[in-house]
Structure 1
């Protein structure tokens, strides 16, 4: 073994002449010169990346005579896909619809599809079939505090439920908090909104146990509802939000949840050479604010009409609340 290692060096200490230059390795391809699809497969499987220019160079070296347009027509018919900023990267379907950057590929294809690119439209459909974006009907534990819930849906839900008697609600995410649009969270004066909306802002931004919906009042003589018949006070707002749906002609278009900073897509390849599996988008942690990923602020550090209104509401519904229950969890 030692002698074999020494053979790699000359007596002067330099590397032997046969090892100074890397060997010239040419890709082995035994297919037909005009089989552009087989050539693309061979190159892509070897280096896991392929551009149109690289393929056409290799095709010419093999004696092929196809033009770039003829080559692309054959590849697209075999379900190959284009990608990349210059739209010149080639990927077979099984590689294109698997991996962890499906939304990035979707965005690039969707941008070109909006410009009328028919191939890009086909690729958008393929990616959406692999990603399977979650819709509200598929989510059993949706919470209005989850960052992937679009702000316009929160506004619609509040406007038609908690704030129905006061008018439409307009919200914004600023400084890591959900706020009424155009009004600082700590301002003493707020536009006319219902006490329920103020309580919900505290619930969203701070402690869901302290800022929970008040207990429902029942007429005397009514039989109390069981736990199976109604959700707990803490779960009343999430369950109400999950049951609510926007009305009107745009209803179906507003129920998908493709917001990617909060929900990423990952698809793993299956054993079949052309099949692709998928996993649902991951949910962001509810302990994180959807605006910039900041941790929710402690309610004890903020003085605002929201805290004042909610404190009176909670204190009135629970006169025996202990001091420990009033402390906001950090």
Structure 2
């Protein structure tokens, strides 16, 4: 059976959340405005609002859940008439979406000391809050948060309005090397020698006495590679992907299936198309599937190489799990080397974050 080339572009969406296993660590620095009026009765005098600086170190357990430790100190811009707040806190953050702009909930426990001219208080602390995070790239993000802090055995309690910026880091570069090596092995095992195939096909053809190949023994009026005698769909044409009965197996050649930027998880809507491809590949054992992962140019060369291979591995792994032979799948990581749109615009970057499937 003969198959035409199919390119299925699986495009990424606008989110910029990074997979927990890629860049699992992060730190943030921020500033907060703290309301202290609700603590007045404890100290017996008027309390001005406080200003603090906050430094946090975090770890992504998974894409939706993070743990972090935070250290809070009085801001350097705060004058002596305001309450000084020092705090150490362990918190968990639960993200409610995978989009670039994502809301989250946070809760934590820690220890706080508050000092004023009227006295001081220190004790264990419980906190509860909510915020929104915006991922501007695979490494850089910003947050706005509202948090309520309460000393468990003391009266002082206050609302905090926090602005932070953060940076992710990890060992992605090490993973890139092993991923690239694996991809190279898969690619080398799946390379097809076109000249050898041509010779084999030529040897299979009957020849006349003069050594000229004879005319094909079957008629194929629609040029789809299936003989008319068994072709149940006589009008598919040579550009169609058909099964042994001559009918289309895949009618959609391009799927605008999106997944978050810098993520390689399987997009839910992609499975329907991939299931059709897998069914076709199991029917034709000679089918070759080239899976090409792409990235935009916002990340480093190492990360773009990594994430493009991870995307290819996700699609290739899904096909293999659906019964496609590993020998029929070739993985390629093309990083940001083959853009199809302008990388200087968000719309263009969305189009460039993709996986292409070529079936031949």
Q: Which category describes the TM-score, using the shorter chain as reference length?
A: under 0.3
TM-score by length of 2: 0.21
Task: Compare the two structures and name the one with the higher helix fraction.
Answer: 1
Task: Compare the two structures and name the one with the higher strand fraction.
Answer: 2
TM-score by length of 1: 0.22
